[in-house]
Copies of this chain bind each other. A is one copy, B any other.
Amino acid sequence: MRYCSKCGSDQIDFKVPDNDTIKRYICSACDSIFYTNPNVIVGTICVKDDQVLLCKRNIEPRFGLWTLPAGFMENSETLQEGALRETKEETQASPTITSPYAAFSLTHISQVHLFYLADLRDENFGPTSESSEVELFYEKDIPWDQIAFPTVTKTLEYYFKDKKEGVYPFREEGLKLW
């Protein structure tokens, strides 16, 4: 941040405001304080007949690697609406959400990733502008060495482990990767 988005001044400091404990961008001309906070990424692990739906990224970052459909939660939507919107945008699929399944706090990038377990009840999925390939995978065929993000790997591992037990508890954890 180089200029104040409210008054246009270039007198921007990065310091702890009064009655606060964290450094913020502050405009010394108009006294505005600018807060930045973690973003939420929402997605689904769509299941159909013992298979899960993965998509091959057609965009950066991690172009060409496989992922679960997920993306930034937007203003004015619920967590579930965001997860279903991202799933549709990346895979064309319209699954039915079963339950919240895995949440991760990623402190190094200030993100929260939340994946829902979802039932896919039809074959209406396929490539999109964001995904060059969209396919159902049995556990034995998951391309483990070509997964785009660590939280996707963890969610898939949890899923196939839970599948053997037949119970799918909600998991929530911090991931300190850097």
Is B81 a contact of A40 with CB atoms below 8 Å? no
Chain A 91-115 per-residue mask, 1 if CB under 8 angstroms from chain B, else 0:
0000000001001010110101000
Q: Using C-beta atoms within 8 Å of the partner chain, give the interface range for chain A.
A: 35 or more
Does any Cβ of B come within 8 Å of A124's Cβ?
Answer: no
Across the interface, which residues of B come within 8 angstroms of A31, CB to CB? none
Does any Cβ of B come within 8 Å of A73's Cβ?
Answer: yes
Does any Cβ of B come within 8 Å of A74's Cβ?
Answer: yes
B-facing residues in A94-143 (Cβ within 8 Å): 100, 103, 105, 107-108, 110, 112, 129
Across the interface, which residues of B come within 8 angstroms of A76, CB to CB? 107-108, 110
Across the interface, which residues of B come within 8 angstroms of A39, CB to CB? 37
> How far apart are A3's CB and chain B's nearest CB, in angstroms?
4
From A111, which residue of chain B is reached at the shortest CB distance? B75
Stretch at the interface among A5-13, A61-69, A154-162: A5-13
Is A37 a contact of B74 with CB atoms below 8 Å? yes
Does any Cβ of B come within 8 Å of A78's Cβ?
Answer: yes
Is A4 a contact of B3 with CB atoms below 8 Å? yes
Is A75 a contact of B37 with CB atoms below 8 Å? yes
Is A37 a contact of B40 with CB atoms below 8 Å? yes
Is B100 a contact of A77 with CB atoms below 8 Å? no
Does any Cβ of B come within 8 Å of A38's Cβ?
Answer: yes
Given known A-B contacts A3-B3, A39-B37, A100-B103, A110 and B8 have beta carbons under 8 A apart: no
From A6, which residue of chain B is reached at the shortest CB distance? B2
* Cross-chain pairs A/B with CB under 8 angstroms, 17 sampled: A1-B5, A2-B6, A3-B4, A3-B7, A4-B5, A22-B75, A35-B72, A37-B39, A37-B73, A37-B75, A40-B40, A73-B112, A78-B107, A78-B174, A79-B174, A100-B170, A100-B172
